[in-house]
Amino acid sequence: MARSSAPGTAFLLGEHAVVYGEPALLFAVGRRATVTVETKSGEEDKMPDSAYVREAVGRAREHAGDDTPLRVEVESDIPIGAGLGSSAAVSAATLHAASRELGAPMEREKVAEEAHAVELDVQGAASPADTYTATMGGYTVVGDEEKRRLDVPGGADARFVVGWDGGSAPTGEMVEGVSRLVDRNRVADDIVESIGDLSRMGVERAETGDTDALGALMDMNQGLLDALGVSSSSLSRMVWAARDAGGHAKLTGAGGAGCVVAHPAADDVLSAVEDEAEEAFVARVAEGVRTEE
Ligand code: PMV
């Protein structure tokens, strides 16, 4: 039996623009998906009805050259389809656990690459932002120019508030909506580039340990995401609750519904977001995919 887990992810800056190759700045959120895989010779496969799990198992089998029947179980405390990279976490943890159980453990880089391929197979379009971050953990920058873990001085101690409106929206449709806008309105194209510029500035600040400077950039990024049409009244309410309490905030992920991320994680900011959210919690920056058993 092999059990692995991988964290959810949040965008501090750069979602949607990352689909156009611009950089995004993310961190791994301390809520995880845990996947248990057990070989069951002589029996049939038993796994949850999830295209991500099926694809990830298929890829682990191909990698190991072994199609022994497997029993797969998934437990997760990451809200689904809400901008916290739940499918990336499930894909990375499944690849990690299944490849170990089949006797051919994948290297971290390989898990990241295969988890991105799983998302592409299942969703059509997907940037490697969520899958890379769920695999590597910590802070990351992901874009066409570079894809790496960021060394943020003191960053391990940083905390963020995550608020969830209780809803979810299909990533594919949100990405499609932005693409239609970009096609017919060149201002939208400029906005995508400007979001990339905010991420570049954010990476510079983060690398000097200035996580407080990220707040103003997050606020500006929220304004640009709103202009691209991916915010919503419930997301905006959580964002403004955080701001009215002295914090900075933006939606994270595809938008439409789902989660916001706010900084700093002061008590006032947490309780203000809580008042507008279905659920709110303080997120610490987490480790990437790892062996549990
Ligand atoms: O909401 P999520 O966790 O699926 O994130 C989507 C992020 C996008 O930038 C909108 C799409 C992508 O593939 O990066």
How far lies 70's CA from each of 75, 97, 269, 291, in Å? 16, 11, 45, 18
Residue 110 domain-assigned (yes or no): yes
Residues 32-54, mean pLDDT to the nearest whole number: 95
Look at strands 279-284 and 2-13 and give their pairing. unpaired
Residues 23 and 123 in one domain: yes
Q: Number of folded domains in the chain? A: 2
> Which protein residue's CA is at the shortest distance from atom 5 of ligand 1?
253
Output the pTM of the full model: 0.97
Residue 253 CA to ligand 1 center (angstroms) comes to 5
Tokens of 82: 């809400």
Q: Which domain holds residue 119?
A: 2-149
Where do runs of H (alpha helix) occur along the chain?
51-64, 86-101, 108-123, 129-136, 171-184, 186-207, 214-227, 233-244, 267-276
Beta bridge partners of 26: 11, 140
Would you say the CB of residue 165 lies under 6 angstroms from ligand 1? no
pLDDT in tens, 138-167: 999 999 999 999 999 999 999 999 999 999
pLDDT in tens, 206-256: 999 988 899 999 999 999 999 999 999 999 999 999 999 999 999 999 999
**Rounded to whole angstroms, how far apart are CA atoms 112 and 134?**
8
Per-residue pLDDT at 41 exceeds 90: no
pLDDT in tens, 8-38: 999 999 999 999 999 999 999 999 999 999 9
Tokens of 231: 């915010």
- End position of a domain, from candidates 123, 149, 175: 149
- End position of a domain, from candidates 114, 149, 184: 149
Residue 42 CA to ligand 1 center (angstroms) comes to 39
